[in-house]
């Protein structure tokens, strides 16, 4: 099949949701035209017209009054479903990918397919914040490593609860976060300085994305231009886990301990 014919076939199939539904139905099992009208909610005339188009392209054959998909039709269906799934995934993960790319984060594309994504929306603007809080609350008696470009009371409370439950925390923030913490969250700053299980590092460069690492879970958080958490990509796959570990280690190597930055009275 030439490239032009392949494009025409793809355009023909994608040009009608009913065509897609019919090929999907025939991929599942052989069907008579009357069965197809019920399965795809189309008129008999529409079904017959589409079946003629399928036969013309050798995607189906008629046998004993029923239509069945050919090996070619099965391959076309499967390839289309694969493309459709990738497009849907791209739409869902596109905001995350675009946001981390904007701030210069070299996140590996191979880490996206097997990751879960929590996305803030107009209906649930705190979805990303809530998911990160949940992860902190679940991290009892564990080693937590995190990077954050913001300070939020909800995060402070969850981290304090994790410390109370026996967790240890390593956190990397930038100077703006430290200044905000000192001004608005004094008790949390004091605990970060006094608790032996909490170690905070201060990056000399602004931080524009977030990391979270605990047990076998690794997360990357994308923030918008207003520094609000928008997407949390979460995975246990080695591609993501190794990348998060390397990114955290690199940031920590270039950071300074909070105790060396903050002057206490």
Q: Which residues pair with 212 in a beta bridge?
A: 146, 219
Per-residue model confidence as pLDDT tens digits over 198-242: 999 999 999 999 999 999 999 999 998 888 999 999 999 999 999
Is it the case that residue 84 has pLDDT exceeding 90? no
The reported pLDDT for the residue numbered 1 is: 46
CB contact at 8 A, 22 and 41:
no
The reported pLDDT for the residue numbered 36 is: 94
**CA distance linking residue 212 with residue 223, whole number of Å:** 14
Other CB atoms within a 10 A radius of the CB of residue 213 amount to 21
**CA distance linking residue 148 with residue 171, whole number of Å:** 8
User: pTM to 2 decimals?
Assistant: 0.73
């Amino acid at each position: 099949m030439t490239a032009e014919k392949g494009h025409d076939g793809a355009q023909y199939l994608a040009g009608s949701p009913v065509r897609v539904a019919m090929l999907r139905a025939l991929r599942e099992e052989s069907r008579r035209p009357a069965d197809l009208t019920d399965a795809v909610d189309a008129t008999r005339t529409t079904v017959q017209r589409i079946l003629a188009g399928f036969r013309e392209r050798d995607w189906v054959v008629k046998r004993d009054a029923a239509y069945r998909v050919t090996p070619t039709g099965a391959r076309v269906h499967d390839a289309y479903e694969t493309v459709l799934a990738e497009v849907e995934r791209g739409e869902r993960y596109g905001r995350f990918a675009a946001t981390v790319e904007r701030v210069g984060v070299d996140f590996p594309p191979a880490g996206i397919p097997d990751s879960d994504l929590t996305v803030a929306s107009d209906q649930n603007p705190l979805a990303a914040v809530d998911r990160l809080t949940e992860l902190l609350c679940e991290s009892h008696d564990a080693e937590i490593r995190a990077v954050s470009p913001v300070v939020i009371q909800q995060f402070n409370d969850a981290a304090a609860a994790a410390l109370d439950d026996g967790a240890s925390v390593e956190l990397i923030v930038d100077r703006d976060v430290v200044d905000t913490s000192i001004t608005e969250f004094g008790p949390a700053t004091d605990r970060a300085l006094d608790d032996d299980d909490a170690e905070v590092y201060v990056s000399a460069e602004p931080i524009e994305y977030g990391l979270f690492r605990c047990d076998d879970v690794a997360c990357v958080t994308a923030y918008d231009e207003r520094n609000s958490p928008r997407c949390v990509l979460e995975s246990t796959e080695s591609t993501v886990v190794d990348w998060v570990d390397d990114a955290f280690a690199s940031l920590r190597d270039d950071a300074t301990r909070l105790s060396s930055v903050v002057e206490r009275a």
